[in-house]
Amino acid sequence: MNLFENVMLLFQDGGWKMIVMWIIGGLLIFLAIKKEMEPTLLLPMGFGAILVNLPESGAKEVIDHLFEIGINSHELFPLILFIGIGAMIDFEPLLTNPKLMIFGAAAQFGIFFTLSMASLFGFETNDAASIAIIGAADGPTSIFVANMLNSKYTAAIMVAAYSYMALVPLVQPPIIKLCTTKKERRIKMQYTGKKVSKLTKILFPIIVTVIVGLVAPDAVALIGFLMFGNLIRECGVLNSLSETAQKVLANLITIFLGITIASKMTANEFLRFETILIMALGLIAFVFDTFGGIMIAKLMNLFLPKDKKINPMIGAAGISAFPMSARVVHKLGLEEDNSNFLLMHSIGVNVSGQIASVIAGGLILSFFA
């Protein structure tokens, strides 16, 4: 066999596309290392994109197999990762002030809005719904839904979801500033810091699983694994398991998740006009999520007494992207008034966004799966 046969393949029909994919892979690695944008996912995806786009790549079969067992059959990787995420989340700020969940729900507006926009642009319903779920701002949920709906554009959806999550500190502030007045951004909110009973913390994951399971049975795996992780954390007798789920388990799955998604990043599937369109629709989803959260806060303010007004910026933290969007809101609060601490409120809204995004994913699945 000619030693340079493979090299020559690069100069034949479509060979240039592979080189473009190497550049995209390199760009993802650059963003991960230099800009520290979601490095845990973007770096493996970037490397994987190079790996599967070598002519006659022998790695493609292995990665395809990983995709088959880890994602395609029962969405195993995203679900296991959710145990780890559940173990990482402290729902206390939300439990002390449960009405914060309203913002989490409102900040899923972008998902449904993007569903309409993607349909308008001619995507088939299963693809439109998968693209819309980029607005869940939550990687595992996006992977879960896109795969369950058998979308052709899984890779583009993943890249868009993770890139925008990393770009939350850039995407959200201009939208927040556009939707709020200086006066609104200066509103201070009292944090009562009430204690929540251990019983509440233990019952919460169980009850939420049952409620969501009854309403959106297709999403019960997602919410169930998330809440299972949280129950391990809160039960108080499984500390070492909780620690393993948060660190070892989550890290282990993350290592495989990125490179596995790369199996869908072959030049033929990725270098398409639709990829650009999906990126644009993903941005729309993030923008309208932020918009939805802020607007519901402004609406509630109309009915609240003067001393109990809500700083509408915390609504923006309702997009899942945990904990970046909570930090963004806190930072913007401090920018306007350096004694305005919004972190506990925005964290509460942020974790409620995590739950709401899974519910939204479940509803989308119940409509289209």
Work out whether 133 is an interface residue with another protein (CB under 8 A): no
Q: Candidates 164-172, 192-200, 226-234, 320-328 — which segment interacts with another protein by CB under 8 A? A: 192-200
> What span, in angstroms and rounded, lies between the C-alpha atoms of 355 and 182?
30
Residue 239 to residues 153, 215, 234, 265: CA-CA distances in angstroms? 39, 31, 9, 39
Work out whether 54 is an interface residue with another protein (CB under 8 A): no
Number of H helices, E strands in the chain: 22, 0
Binding mask 66-95 for another protein (x = CB under 8 A): ----------------------------xx
Residue 40 in contact with residue 252, Cβ under 8 Å? no
Those residues whose C-beta lies under 8 Å from the C-beta of residue 97, and which sit 6 or more positions away, are 192, 345, 348
Rule CB under 8 A: choose which of 83, 261, 363, 365 binds another protein. Answer: 363
Q: Candidates 75-83, 181-189, 196-204, 327-335 — which segment interacts with another protein by CB under 8 A? A: 196-204
Rule CB under 8 A: choose which of 6, 23, 35, 122 binds another protein. Answer: 122
Size of the site for another protein (CB under 8 A): 51
Structure tokens at 345: 């409120």
Q: Roughly what angle, to the nearest 10 degrees, separates helices 139-148 and 250-261?
A: 50
Q: Candidates 177-185, 224-232, 297-305, 357-365 — which segment interacts with another protein by CB under 8 A? A: 357-365
- Residue 214: half-sphere exposure toward Cβ, Cα within 13 Å: 5
Range list of β-strands (E), the chain: none
Work out whether 99 is an interface residue with another protein (CB under 8 A): yes
> What span, in angstroms and rounded, lies between the C-alpha atoms of 235 and 230?
8
Work out whether 45 is an interface residue with another protein (CB under 8 A): no
> What span, in angstroms and rounded, lies between the C-alpha atoms of 248 and 241?
10
What's the min distance (Å) between Cβ of 96 and another protein? Answer: 8
Residue with tokens 């959260």: 293
Work out whether 111 is an interface residue with another protein (CB under 8 A): yes
* Chain contacts with another protein (rule: CB under 8 A): 94-96, 98-99, 101-102, 104-105, 108-109, 111-113, 115-116, 118-123, 125, 128, 152, 194, 196-197, 199-200, 203-204, 207-208, 211-212, 215-216, 266, 268-269, 272-274, 355-356, 359-360, 363-364, 367
